Structure 1
Amino acid sequence: MMIRTFIAIELPTEVKQVARQIQNQLGESIEGIKWVKQENLHLSVKFLGNVEENRINDIATAVKNAVKESSVMNLKTGHWGAFPNEKSPRILWLGLEGDVPDFIRMSKNCESELAKLGYEIDARGNKPHITIGRIRSSKKQKGMINILKDIPIESILFRVDELKVMRSELNRNGAVYTNLQSVKLDK
């Protein structure tokens, strides 16, 4: 059986609330955005796509190998952004600060270990962010960016001490995420 799979960091409630505040403030002013449900907010490390169920243990082992030298990290909410850029936003995200170099190093290690199993390395790299919404309509993008600039973002510090191998099941109400395996950071 194929399972839609990704590697992620689960977020504390306080961080999800900061993201929700931004969604609520923007939601009152802008149409055409599909907001990520609060329970689905997470910090992605690697999206794998559809994988055979019997490969989940191998994936978890690769992640364990990747984080052997990784220490517990402290990240904090700090800014907002958009992909591909602010002029043509398609994805709105909440950016993170703090031990970002450690996160990037860990993410690259995960990419390398998973590449040994045949998964492609993402050439774009991994900028730590929390996707909060996907833009469906480009009609009001400029107004949205101006509104975003005026929204203060509360800085919430949080500890990262494990990664999760997650299942994503798509249904008519959106995605449902389930933890398949957890991998603790060793140091």
Structure 2
Amino acid sequence: MIRTFVAVDIPVEFHATISMLQSKLIGSGLRPVDPSIVHITMKFLGDVDEAKLPEIIAAIDRLDCPSFDSRISGMGAFPGMKNPRIVWLGASGDYSCLHEQLEDILSRIGFKKELRKFIPHVTLARTTYLSHVRKKELVSAIDSFRDFDVGLMNVHTVKLKKSTLTPKGPIYETLHEVDLP
């Protein structure tokens, strides 16, 4: 079994800015994501049998969405600012075509459709335990970057990735990529 997901990578040119933003959040109770592996998860597939990979690849090869521009901007938290568990940057642009087609084509080969509303985002960090004071500091820092603009990128490739979890963090490997017209 291999842990897999479908994603859009963030351009290398954004990594330094993402690292700078993370440095403004650093403190106890926060695990930042390595800027070199940040991405926008389009569909988490979970643990799949390796024998199913050709079927998954054939399915995502059927994507028929045009490439589009996406602005990475605005910091926030899931599930919300009262209880920040995941710190993120927003991603605007026409992700709906990709999301809807991925949900449809992958549901045909046995993957459940996601019931939650899709919110394109880049995960910057995850929280562990936050004291009341630390939570207030983090919320204040997030709020100070709520309108921060990282930049504009072109979404022209979607990737099927393998995720290997290690004590030092996940290691991602691209298994297949699809170029959008």
- Alignment-derived partner of residue 144 in structure 1: 138
- TM-score, normalised with respect to structure 1: 0.90
Q: Of the candidates 72, 88, 97, which is equivalent to residue 93 of structure 1? A: 88
Distance 2:150 2:32 in 1: 21
Where does 1:32-181 land on structure 2 (aligned, <5 Å)? 32-65=29-62, 67-68=63-64, 70-97=65-92, 99=93, 102-139=94-131, 140-151=134-145, 153-181=148-176
1:18–1:154 CA contact under 8 A, matched in 2: no
1:19–1:94 CA contact under 8 A, matched in 2: no
Query: Tell me, which stretches of 5 or more residues in structure 2 are unaligned?
Result: none
- Alignment-derived partner of residue 21 in structure 1: 20
Alignment deviations for residues 83-131 of structure 1 (CA, whole Å, 9 cap, x no partner): 111111100001122x2xx212211110111011111111013211000
Query: Tell me, which stretches of 5 or more residues in structure 1 are unaligned?
Result: none
1:7–1:46 CA contact under 8 A, matched in 2: yes
Structure 1 residues 4 and 43 mapped into 2: Cα distance closer, same or farther (>3 Å)? same
Identity %: 29
Aligned with 2:74: secondary structure?
strand
Give how far 1:154 is off: 3.3
- TM-score, normalised with respect to structure 2: 0.93
Worse-matched range after superposition: 115-124 or 55-64: 55-64
Distance 1:80 1:104 in 2: 21
Alignment deviations for residues 2-26 of structure 1 (CA, whole Å, 9 cap, x no partner): 1100001111112222221110111
Distance 2:151 2:42 in 1: 20
2:159–2:175 CA contact under 8 A, matched in 1: yes
When the two chains are superposed, the root-mean-square deviation of aligned CA atoms in Å is 1.3
- Alignment-derived partner of residue 12 in structure 1: 11
Distance 1:171 1:80 in 2: 27
